[in-house]
Amino acid sequence: MEVVIRPDADAAVALTVQLIATRLRAKPDLVLGLATGRTMEPVYDSLSSLGLDFSRCRTFNLDEYVGIPPDDPQSYRHFMNERLFDRINIKRDHTHVPDGMAADLGAEVRHYERRIKHAGGIDLQLLGIGEDGHIGFNEPLSALMSRTREKALTPKTRRQNAGMFGGDAERVPKRALTMGVGTILDAHEIVLLAIGAEKAPILAQAVEGPITAMISASALQLHPRCKVVLDTAAASSLSQTEYYEWIFANEPEWSAFR
């Protein structure tokens, strides 16, 4: 795992976008794993403004609420269409979001896994982190080898996501479909972006604490090509910032990003 700390949110977003753009230019048929949420809004704003060619790119989103139709503004499919897919030249049938309205959710999640495999696996997976340490909707005690499945959301996550539901956590669905921790770890490369002081305590546990199913993001320590991009506020509870800053300033692989 490599930790990159940028001076502010704009710089952390810019580095994340630069990383995605670099990978897409190098491999125009990139298979991109995508996340939703507030952290991703500026990422998609910036990514869609670069005039990149997404015509051969395929995408797989991490998750979707159960019981929210794709055209509902509260669905993650709607978020992705509005924030990214409608603004770039991606083919709509190259974009995948789990179908939370499927009559058979078990069949849907198995099909989702098959589609990822059929695409050749995910080249680059973009992640945010929940305040309970989730990646995707892998809530505490998600098996570290879990695959795409239906998952109950914690009250904390439902409160965290209430913004899209008029501020009322009770209106946030209780269940979601999500890639598993194991599905995420299968990606060839991972970049997790976290912004803001409210993410600092869980981020420090995930990055510098023990690997535990209580904090799904801690499983990223097992991944050989995982980058964690932070602003100084999100990094404020880390203990080894001097080392992370030295790596970013000196290691050749970061030279194009400095």
Report the amino acid identity of residue 215: I
Q: Is 117 in the site for ligand F6R (CB under 6 A)?
A: no
Q: Is 136 in the site for ligand F6R (CB under 6 A)?
A: yes
Task: Identify which of residues 51 and 84 has a Cβ nearer to ligand F6R in the complex.
Answer: 84
Residue of the chain from 66, 122, 135, 238 that contacts ligand F6R (CB under 6 A): 135
Q: Which of 72, 35, 33, 37 is nearest to 157 (CA)?
A: 37
Residue of the chain from 35, 52, 109, 185 that contacts ligand F6R (CB under 6 A): 35
- Report the chain's C-alpha Rg in angstroms: 17
- Count of chain residues binding ligand F6R (CB under 6 A): 13
Identify which range of 31-39, 88-96, 117-125, 223-231 contacts ligand F6R by CB under 6 A. Answer: 31-39
Q: Is 134 a catalytic residue?
A: yes
Shortest spacing between CB 38 and ligand F6R, in angstroms? 4
Identify which range of 20-28, 83-91, 132-140, 240-248 contacts ligand F6R by CB under 6 A. Answer: 132-140
Q: Which of 29, 99, 17, 19 is nearest to 61 (CA)?
A: 99
- How many other C-beta atoms lie within 10 A of the C-beta of residue 70? 15
Residue of the chain from 33, 42, 100, 130 that contacts ligand F6R (CB under 6 A): 130
178-201 b/e with 16+ CB inside 10 Å = b? bbbbbbbbbbbbbbbbbbeeebbe
Shortest spacing between CB 40 and ligand F6R, in angstroms? 6
Contact indicator for 131, 160 with CB cutoff of 8 Å: yes
Which residue in the list 78, 96, 134, 223 is annotated as catalytic? 134
C-alpha span between 80 and 76 (Å, rounded): 6
Edge-to-edge order in the sheet of strand 124-127 = 2-6, 226-231, 189-194, 124-127, 31-34, 58-61, 95-96
Q: What is the DSSP string of 83-102?
A: HTGGGS---GGGEE---TT-
Q: Is 39 in the site for ligand F6R (CB under 6 A)?
A: yes
Residue of the chain from 134, 147, 149, 227 that contacts ligand F6R (CB under 6 A): 134
Q: Is 139 a catalytic residue?
A: yes
Q: Is 62 in the site for ligand F6R (CB under 6 A)?
A: yes
Q: Give catalytic residue positions.
A: 63, 132, 134, 139
User: Applying CB under 6 A, which residues contact ligand F6R?
Assistant: 35-39, 62-63, 128-130, 134-136
